[in-house]
Amino acid sequence: MIHYPRGEVNEHQYYLELLRRATVQRDTYAWECLQRHLREILLGWMRQHPDKEAACRLDSEENYVKQAFERFWHATQQHQNLEFTTFAAALHYLRASLNGAILDTLRAYALLKEVPLPEPGFPGEPVLEDGMDNGARWENLQKMLPDVRERRLAYLLFHCGLKPREIVRFYPQEFNDLHDISRLRLSLLERLLRHADQLRR
């Protein structure tokens, strides 16, 4: 770390050491520094992704990058034996994390198009047509989302098609923290993907 500004070590060694400090020593400053340096690389990957247009209709590039970092961080914390011997290997894993965030979002939205949610009675929101098995599907969804706030967020995200920033703008009395919405959204998507077979019944 001391030698990098002097040009005595190469960039890859420097970033690998930052990564080690962030993930092994749980140094928050190192993690923030690493994210700052790598953000543009992830945005570049995002812009080259074959599903970029569809993904960006559902969420912002910034949120996908944020989710990729969160996935990467959770993986390194949950699997203590996950160590990177080269910075290229870490970048490869980070790119896979970004790809996972994009594909999971697309899958979850596609799945929820199959599962219409009932209109909860809020003025100005779309009214759903009743289908034969909507009631059973909604009951299954409610079991997966026992929290009223989570169900409300699922409705706004998946039925109304609102992005997190739009939810903060249109419903500040219910959701006024973008970070909280993103965290809840990721949790919802992961839970719904784990139980996708129940929603299709």
178 inside domain: yes
Among candidates 19, 26, 186, which has minimal Cα distance to 94? Answer: 19
Round to the nearest angstrom and report the end-to-end CA distance of the chain. 55
* Residues 119 and 196 reside in one and the same domain: yes
Tens of pLDDT along 129-185?
Answer: 444 355 566 666 767 777 888 888 887 877 677 778 788 888 888 888 877 887 788
The model's confidence at residue 197, banded by pLDDT at 50, 70 and 90, is low
3-class SS string, 130-162: CCCCHHHHHHHHHHHCCCHHHHHHHHHHHHCCC
Instruction: Check: CB of residue 45 under 8 Å from CB of residue 93.
Output: no
56 and 127 within one domain: no
Q: Residue 167 — left, alpha, or beta (φ > 0 → left; ψ -120 to 50 → alpha)?
A: alpha
Regarding whether 131 and 59 lie in a shared domain, the answer is no
Q: What is the pTM of this model?
A: 0.58
pLDDT for the residue numbered 125: 46
Whether residue 77 is predicted with pLDDT greater than 50 in this model: the reply is: yes
Task: Tell me the pLDDT tens digit for each residue of 36-45.
Answer: 989 999 999 9
Average pLDDT over residues 18-23: 88
CA distance 64 to 70: 10
**Mean pLDDT, residues 195-199 taken together:** 63
Domain count, the chain: 2
Tell me which residue range forms the domain holding 135: 115-200
